[in-house]
Amino acid sequence: MNKPVSHVAVVGADSAAWIAACALRRAFRHRELAVTVVDVAEASKPRVRWTLPSQRGMHAMLGINESEFMAATGATYRLASEHRGWQGEGSRFMHAHGELGSELSGTPFYKYLLNEAIEGRAVNGDDFSVATLAARQGRFARPMGEGDALTASFTYGFHLEEAAYGEFLRQHAAKLGIKRAGGTVVDVELDGSGAVAALRLANGERLTADLYVDCSGPQAAVIGRLAANDRDDWTQWLPCDRMLSGVMPAHSSAPALTQTTATASGWLWRAPTAAHTHGGYVYCSRFLDDDGARRALSTALSGIADLRVDSLRAGRRRNPWVRNCIAIGGAAIELEPLVGAELHAAQLGISALIELFPAAAVSAVEAAEYNRITAEYGDGLRDFTLAHYRLGAARAGAFWDAVRAAPPPPRLAHKIDLFSANGRIHMYDFESFEETDWAWLFLGARLVPSALELQIRARVAQIRPEQVAPLREYVQRLVLSMPPHMEFVRRSGARSAQT
Amino acid sequence: MRPPLRIVIVGGGTAGWMTAAAFSSVLKPEQREIHLIESSEIGIVGVGEATLPHIRFFNKRIGIDERELMAKTQATFKLGIEFVDWARLGDSYIHPFGAYGSRFSGLPFHQYWLRQQRRGDAAPIEDYSLAIVAARMGKFTLPSEDPSEVLSTFGYAFQFDASLYAAYLRVFSEARGVKRTDAKIVDVQLRGTDGWIESVKLDDGSLVTGDLFIDCSGFRGLLIEQALKTGYDEWTRWLPCDRAMAVPCENVGPLTPYTRATAREAGWQWRIPLQHRTGNGYVYSSQFISDDEAAARLLSRLDGKALADPRPLRFTAGRRRKTWNRNCVAIGLAGGFLEPLESTSIHLIQVAITTLLDYITGSNEFDPRIVEAYNRWIEMEYDRVRDFLILHYYATERNDTPIWNYCRTMDVPDSLRHKMELFRQRARVVTYKDGLFLEPSWLAVYFGQRVTPTAYDPLADALPPAELTSKLQAVRDQVHGAVAAMPRHEDFLAQYCPAQKPAMAGKS
């Protein structure tokens, strides 16, 4: 099997699969790479997704116009998440897709906030962030300008409905010349070397390709046949294994905000799209059964209907690339949707595959590099998710005791340890969430370091109140100049309809 | 207000004085009390006469004036390192401080260059690097800060006299309140409760107490090893050289703006041109050549007349298991040794100092979480340099002497094997966020040592051929145009940082 790759089969038909197909087709259009999407039976797709800002870059790469996408899919913007109750009843914090204040005295603003916290003065960081303040006030505008300008100090992700987004991507894929097979995968044929030889489809067709991209989600319809038990299990840290979801009527003044609320056995979410308000419950079946979860969710979000339950099991595949098969998205990594990174994780896989696209179908060194990079990124996403559960004051209760029972993975422990000792945030080679994201999280959880780096403290000490107050006022003025979020969404859609 | 941190630096070589200079400059007088103990009877190794571009950040951070430093240390500029005879006898390549071309359409330049080479229409890769072309032509000027200019595509470092560097930093440090004592240390006293260092005893019987002891005592590791028994990880199986002979000689011909490392029968020879003389040395493995023969070979291969007798050095490649142990931090040779093939000695000192400065809180109860994080960082820095050095020995076709037969066939770390394989298969360089040596460095050594890719990144085919040709030609024209307009290295030195002629040539 040493011929060049000219045909890729993408297995699965959720948005991650369509993104993978479109991205590969676009990247290799100069060699007219053929891409076929094949559906799988019983694919479980989430109803709603909230995404990271990297989705914007992926859209640009795929040639998707943002206004068209918003209008066609009923998506809304997302500036931040608000996390309630994670460090005990009444606690709440924001994690915005943007800077936390701006640099003063050559020091990141979060260091100033840390110093205030160490000194026992509580300063609310939210007041210094355009993204959090706008999210709280239900306002939105796209970032503008460059560099250190406050108007450029934030970015955004989306709330989107999987069905509408998948359909939009399917149409986009058709325009790019991506074919769709006529039947679903029923069997995988392997050759003598253990590589995929062909896919057997329900309509009797036998589909062959040079590379097989498995986007079938947790069922891992293809790669599961090549490597069955090749998994790092994360359930000791992330034990939630059930996910209940439903819909409520749309809210005409919904903010560009995802809300989560910790409960005795997991956490609830609330996320707006143009057509609905989505809600759900991620919980651990050891501590709460499905009926109990339904009751709890209906009480918390009155009027929620059309409930559906899915299961999940946190972990990642050790080798998502085996022979001529590459698992992307849920087939490679399963993570609860807390930080909104599922499509992002798929994108990391897609980008790595494009960067390491093999000259020949079976190529060991590319697979090794792909597996190394995606493993690091995957562990980083796990750590960021897990940190929500583990930082700051512990919630009482059996579930929360269980969550904190196992020692954290070493790379997360190292990060928490160093921060706790001197306020320094250590970043590894491959991490999706950046220093500022971790700062939002550490500050939000009110994890106060026992000291600050000597040199940072010296610089922070030079910051005067008269430098800080104008920053707060400027952020407020800027946010007041933004239109309401849902009005922005409607106007953006209207603009797209005119063109 | 905390009392000042009492810092005791043991040893006054390059590491000791760099530490003293940085701590005295960066920390405020009320934050620290610095005491350096050195003995004028113990010679300093004077490690690393050639530096890396990062030293400019260090100078900037601690407030050293570059021109003054260069004039006081007989310094020259350095645009890279020339490697001679490494893959095959007769080969020469330069590891430049700068890029080859620049990224475009999402891919590094060399991928397009490889494609063009396949089409039979590319000049040698060196032609697309401003640093290399300037080095080969003996030119130098300061880089531009405008990223759109080709003159912004390189960096530079210094080649200087390490003894003069230490002397310069001593004056700098003493002016900032560093106390210096000329004495030998005869004993180290550990605290009974936890084994932390309480004080060091000097040969006049006095005790020097402190909070933080920085061991810059060189290979022997007076505090970190002799007193604290920290342990050492040896890397001799990959880096077999364990000795060196060093000798200065008279300058002959123009001053090259680069260092040279020539592979020899049992190791390699360095050549570092300074304003007043040329530094030379032979790094070798005692398994493969005797000291006398190494000295004789070295003396027979100098540009000009030797200015002293060859000075012998001994070492073991490796790293201290913890460079921060209890209240003792080992910096420089006390922390680890990697041969100066890529001029990393001063850089590793700099990394240790700046990381330490970044991590400490000012408390004298060193939080073990900070100590562990520091040690992990330093370990990572050493390990990444190590892999890069091993590549030079391993990627060779030489079979003319036993040392090359050994190195060519040795078992290298998996991490390095993987990096090389990925380059061979698709010219991809494994990159990382932290640590030394970025893509151009790996490219230089891969290409220079005949690690030849069998294919390039398939994305490089996306560019239409005519565009490919014109882009490459444009880079080459820009590089050559810019270099043609640059002054000669010596002329630039003469107006920028002329040094005084030493009173007694060769006795520096």
**Could you read off the pLDDT of A56-113 as tens digits, one per residue?**
999 999 999 999 999 999 999 999 999 999 999 999 999 999 999 888 888 999 999 9
> CA-CA distance, A104 to A186, in Å (whole number)?
60
Q: Which of A30, A31, A421 sits opposite B370 (nearest CB)?
A: A421
**CA-to-CA distance for A320 and A224, rounded, in angstroms?**
10
The pLDDT of residue A122 is 82
The pLDDT value recorded for residue B507 is 39
Q: Please report which residue ranges of B339-367 form alpha helices under DSSP H.
A: 345-359
- A24-29's contacts with Cβ under 8 Å and 24+ in sequence apart are A24/A213, A24/A350, A24/A353, A24/A354, A24/A357, A25/A173, A25/A176, A25/A177, A25/A178, A26/A61, A26/A62, A26/A63, A26/A176, A27/A354, A27/A357, A27/B459, A28/A357, A28/B458, A28/B459, A28/B462, A29/B462
Alpha-carbon distance B30 to nearest alpha carbon in chain A (angstroms): 12
Which residues of chain A neighbour B372 with C-beta distances below 8 Å? Answer: 414, 417
Give the length of chain B: 508
Choose from A417, A422, A431 for mutation: most chain B CBs within 10 A. Answer: A422
ipTM surpassing 0.85, yes or no? Answer: yes
CA distance A411 to A483: 42
Mean pLDDT for chain A overall? 95
Q: Which residues pair with A79 in a beta bridge?
A: none
Q: Give the closest residue to A83 by CA, choosing from A211, A341, A319, A259.
A: A259
Provide the sign of the torsion angle of the four alpha carbons B50, B52, B57, B61, taken in this order: negative
Q: Which of B138, B152, B208 has its CA nearest to residue B180?
A: B208
Would the CB atoms of A418 and B370 count as touching at under 8 Å?
yes
Chain A: give the shortest CA distance to residue B454, in Å.
10
Homologous superfamily (CATH) of A7-76+160-231+314-381 is FAD/NAD(P)-binding domain (3.50.50.60)
Extract the tokens encoding A279: 């809600």
Chain A neighbors of B362, CB-CB under 8 A: 451, 454, 457
Give the residue, B189 or A362, on which the prediction is more confident. B189
Cα gap B160→B77, rounded to integer Å: 9
Check CB contact under 8 Å for B373 and A418.
Answer: yes
In the predicted model, is pLDDT for residue A218 greater than 80?
Answer: yes
Task: Report whether pLDDT(A1) > 80.
Answer: no
Token duo for residue B328: 């003792």
Q: What is the pLDDT of residue A45?
A: 85
**What pLDDT, on a 0 to 100 scale, did the predictor assign at position A44?**
77
pLDDT at A497 over 70: no
| CA–CA separation, B280 and B283 (whole Å) | 10
- Minimal CA–CA distance to B23: which of B182, A135, B31? B31
- Name the residue with tokens 């034990």: A239
Mean pLDDT, residues A168-182 taken together: 96
Smallest Cα–Cα separation from B248: which of B315, B166, B317, B164?
B164
Q: DSSP letters of B67-136?
A: HHHHHHTT-EEE-EEEEESSSSTT-EEEEESB-SS--BTTB-HHHHHHHHHHTT----GGGG-HHHHHHH
Distance CA B236, CA A307 (A): 65
User: Does the CB of B438 have a partner CB in chain A at under 8 Å?
Assistant: no
Question: Using CA atoms, how far apart are residues B331 and B214, in angstroms rounded to an integer?
Answer: 7
Task: State the helix-helix crossing angle for B162-175 and B14-26, rounded to 10 degrees.
Answer: 30
Q: Residue B326, CB half-sphere, CA atoms under 13 Å: how many?
A: 21
Q: From the CA of B431, how many Å to the nearest CA of chain A?
A: 9
Instruction: Answer for the pair A178, A25: CB distance below 8 angstroms, yes or no.
Output: yes
Q: Which of B78, B322, B419, B471 is catalytic?
A: B78
Q: Cβ-count burial of A180 within 10 angstroms (0-12 exposed, 13-18 middle, 19+ buried)?
A: middle
Given a cut of 70, the residues of chain B with pLDDT beneath it are 1, 44-48, 503-508
- Count Cβ atoms below 10 Å from residue A419 Cβ, excluding itself: 22
Q: Do A451 and B28 touch (CB under 8 A)?
A: no
Number of helical (H) and strand (E) elements in chain B, helices listed first: 14, 21
pLDDT of residue A133: 96
Q: Which residues, 6+ apart, have CB-to-CB distance to B316 below 8 Å? A: B219, B232, B234, B236, B242, B337
Rounded alpha-carbon distances, angstroms, from residue A425 to A112, A153, A452, B432, B435: 14, 20, 11, 18, 17
Cβ–Cβ under 8 Å, residues A45 and A16? no
- The whole-number pLDDT of residue A450 equals 96
Active site residue B78: yes
Instruction: Say if CB A272 and CB A254 are below 8 A apart.
Output: yes
For chain A, helix, strand, coil in percent to 5 are: 40, 20, 35
Give the strands of the sheet with A185-190, arranged side by side: A185-190, A196-201, A206-207
Helix (H, G, I), strand (E, B) or coil at A283: strand
- Is the Cβ of B61 closer than 8 Å to some Cβ of chain A? no
- The strand ranges marked E within A229-345 are 231-233, 242-249, 257-263, 266-272, 276-283, 305-311, 315-317, 321-322, 325-327, 333-334
Test B367 with A422 for CB contact under 8 angstroms: yes
Percent of chain A, pLDDT > 70?
98
Express each pLDDT in A465-495 by its tens digit.
Answer: 899 999 999 999 999 999 999 999 998 876 6
| Residues A413-472 pLDDT 10s | 999 999 999 999 999 999 999 999 999 999 999 999 999 999 999 999 999 989 999 999
Query: Token digits for A55?
Result: 């989705």
Flag if A429 and B433 touch (Cβ within 8 Å). Answer: yes
For residue B488, which amino acid is it?
R
B363: contact with A, CB 8 A cutoff:
yes
What mean pLDDT comes out for the span A253-266?
A: 97
What pLDDT, on the 0 to 100 scale, is given for residue B45?
Answer: 63
Q: Is there a contact between A431 and A377 (Cβ–Cβ < 8 Å)? A: yes
| Alpha-carbon torsion angle B65, B55, A425, A341, nearest 10 | 120
**Other CB atoms within 10 A of residue B124 CB:** 12
Identify which of B425, B432, B462 has the shortest CB distance to residue A365: B425
A264-319 residue pLDDT tens: 999 999 999 999 999 999 999 999 999 999 999 999 999 999 999 999 999 999 99
**Core vs surface per residue A40-76: b (16+ CB within 10 A) or e:** beebebbbbbbbbbbbbebbebbebebbbbbbbbbbb
Nearest-CA distance A28 → chain B (Å): 7
d(CA A321, CA A314): 19
Provide the percentage of residues in chain A whose pLDDT is more than 90. 90
Mutate to test the interface with B, among A26, A428, A455 (most CBs of B within 10 A): A455
A450 contacts in chain B (CB < 8 Å): 367
- Strand ordering across the sheet containing B232-234: B232-234, B318-320, B336-337
DSSP assigned state of A21: H
- Asked if A33 and A327 count as a contact pair (C-beta separation under 8 A), the reply is no
Which contacts of B460-467 are long-range, i.e. CB under 8 A and separated by 24 or more positions? B460/B107, B460/B111, B460/B112, B460/B114, B460/B115, B461/A30, B461/A31, B461/B115, B462/A28, B462/A29, B462/A30, B462/B105, B463/B105, B463/B112, B463/B115, B465/B119
C-alpha radius of gyration, chain A, whole number:
23
Backbone angles phi, psi at B442, to 5 degrees: -65, -40
Distances (CA, A) of A58 to A20, A70, A345, A380, A419: 10, 15, 12, 20, 32
**Of B265, B242, B73, B268, the residue nearest B157 (C-alpha):** B73
* Total-model pTM: 0.96
Segments of chain A assigned to CATH 3.50.50.60: 7-76+160-231+314-381
C-alpha distance from B453 to closest chain A C-alpha (Å): 12
Rounded mean pLDDT, A231-249: 97
DSSP code of residue B232: E
Chain A hits for B359, CB-CB cut-off 8 Å, are 422, 424, 453
pLDDT for the residue numbered B508: 37
Q: Determine the distance from the C-alpha atom of residue B48 to the mean position of all C-alpha atoms in its chain, rounded to a whole number.
A: 7
Which DSSP state fits A177? T
β-strands B197-202, B185-190: how paired?
antiparallel
- Which residues are bridge partners to A231 per DSSP? A317
